[in-house]
Amino acid sequence: QVQLVESGGGLVQAGGSLRLSCAASGRTFSSYAMGWFRRPPGKERECVAAISWSGASTYYADSVKGRFTISRDNAKNTVYLQMNSLKPEDTAVYYCAGKYGGSYAYTAIDVYHYWGQGTQVTVSS
């Protein structure tokens, strides 16, 4: 069993930056592929970034490429999402998710076993 807790959300002006963190409990974090998803107001949840257990494989949605960076520190059981050049359309609830046995950067919602509670990111224009 893994518990995921996100932090780092908040209100920021367009062009600003935030770093989201997702702390995981459990001793097998290094075996999990991790993903960051978001749900904008009135829209479906979407994958914005994902990373394999080793960090060797990453994925970014086209809408965030060049602005967001996903990384992980397996020694700290934490995955990060650095968000730069934020835009109002990045406003959403951001969730981290974990999949046991993750050799790839997975993007499908239904392959993930564990989810955090979400953290709100609001970008003002």
pLDDT digits (tens, 9 = 90+) for 36-93: 999 999 999 999 999 999 999 999 999 999 999 999 999 999 999 999 999 999 999 9
Phi and psi at residue 69, to the nearest 5°: -135, 125
pLDDT value at position 111?
95
For residue 122, what pLDDT band results from cuts at 50, 70 and 90?
Answer: very high
pLDDT value at position 27?
72
pLDDT value at position 26?
77
> Could you give the maximum distance between any two Cα atoms of the chain, in Å?
41
Chain segment 17-39, per-residue pLDDT in tens? 999 999 999 778 888 999 999 99
What CA–CA distance (Å, rounded) separates 22 from 76?
A: 10
What CA–CA distance (Å, rounded) separates 22 from 4?
A: 6
